Structure formats: C-alpha cells, structure tokens
Amino acid sequence: MKLYGMPHWGSDIVEYQLALYGLDYAFVKTGNLFDDLSAEDALRAVNPLRQIPTLVLEDGAVMTESAAITLLLADMTERDDLVPGPGAKERAAFLRWLIFIVANIYPTYTYVDMPSRFVADERAQDAYAQAVHDYAKTLYGVLEGTAKGPWFLGERFSALDIYVAVITRWTPRRDWHAENGPKLMAISEAVEALPGLKALAARA
C-alpha cells in the first residue's frame, strides 16, 4: 500500500493505524498542498480531490476519507483493537464520535486553511477565520466533556484516541488544550508515547 501525506497532517490518522496494525506501506510525502502547486499536481494524478490522506491499496484501488479508511483497515485485518466490533458495548459510542469528529471538527480546518474559498472579501477573512476557530474550540469542549479517561471510550483504546492525538496538534494547538482540555491532552500524550507510534509522532 501507499499512503500519500505529510507528517502532522491528517495522514497521521491513517499512518498511526497502519503502524499499530503492523501493515506494510510506503509513505509518499506530498509536500505542502497549500503552498506548492507541484505537490497538488502530483497528488491530482492519484486523487483528483487533492486531499490527504490518500491510501492506495495493494490492488490499486484508491481510498480517501479517514473514517472510511479506519473502518476498512479494521475489516482488512479482521481485528477489533482499534475499531470495536459489532458486538462490543463501545461500538455505538465509537461510531457516534468518529463521525462527530470528521463531520464537525475536521471541516473547521477545511474552512480556514484557505478562507478565500469561502469568503471573497479579503477584509473579512480574518474575522471569518477567528469565528471558525472559536467554534472549533466549542466542539473541542464537547469532546473534552465526553472523554472518559484514560482513553476516550474509557478503559478501551481505539482509533478515536489516534484522532484526538492528531487533531490536538492543530489550531488552537497543544498549549490551549493543556489549559482547556486536560483529558484530551492526557490522551494525546499517551498515544504518542506508545512504542509503535513514538518515532512517528516525533518526526519534524
């Protein structure tokens, strides 16, 4: 398999899972898609949406959308250590909060990564971005209030913890979470200390 991405971008969500499953993959570093047109052009040949993560399976099929990849990898490996199986008591909560993250929190970054896509008036873009960031903080508050500890679902580690570790690196960043989201911070630090992930998390 080939994973197209960048360290500390959304591709980490998938790469951490690949590492924990022990699956063989090649990491293809795309470059900064917002600053480098050649990076966009190279990725377009694989994924016309020019988004990461993009995972190319062994048979050449292209998978996008981190939640879909998360569920697919669990199916491929026939394991339930990252995705609670259909009979698990945590299954409903896992699915609910997986979709909450990708449908609510994740899009806030899409909205502000390139504000010009949504707000044509340059004078209004800063205020627009700040409003989106403020809304994201509200959503993070929902996650913080839901997390049970020591992991998001309680005693059971899951891919949700990987999501938490990755997205808390983004704006408003770890300093804000340390002050406002101690449970999410504890989860993030625990994930990045896992033997199979420590080196990946420490990459520049």
Where are the chain's structural domains? 2-79, 91-199
CATH fourth-level superfamily of 2-79 = Glutaredoxin (3.40.30.10)
**CA–CA distance from 139 to each of 13, 85, 99, 132, 146 (Å)?**
19, 27, 13, 11, 11
Residues 145-193: tens digit of each pLDDT: 999 999 999 999 999 999 999 999 999 999 999 999 999 999 999 999 9
Fold type of domain 91-199: Glutathione S-transferase Yfyf (Class Pi); Chain A, domain 2 (1.20.1050)
Region 93-114: mean pLDDT is 96
Q: What end-to-end distance do the CA atoms of the chain give, in Å? A: 23
3-state secondary structure the chain: CEEEECCCCCHHHHHHHHHHHCCCCEEEECCCCCCCHHHHHHHHCCCCCCCCCEEECCCCCEEECHHHHHHHHHHHHCCCCCCCCCCCCCHHHHHHHHHHHHHHHHHHHHHHHCHHHCCCCHHHHHHHHHHHHHHHHHHHHHHHHHCCCCECCECCCCHHHHHHHHHCCCCCHHHHHHHHCHHHHHHHHHHHCCCCCHHHHCCC
- In this prediction, residue 59 carries a pLDDT of 97
- In this prediction, residue 187 carries a pLDDT of 98
The model's pTM is 0.95
Length of the chain: 204
Look at residue 38 and tell me whether its pLDDT is greater than 90.
no
Look at residue 37 and tell me whether its pLDDT is greater than 80.
no
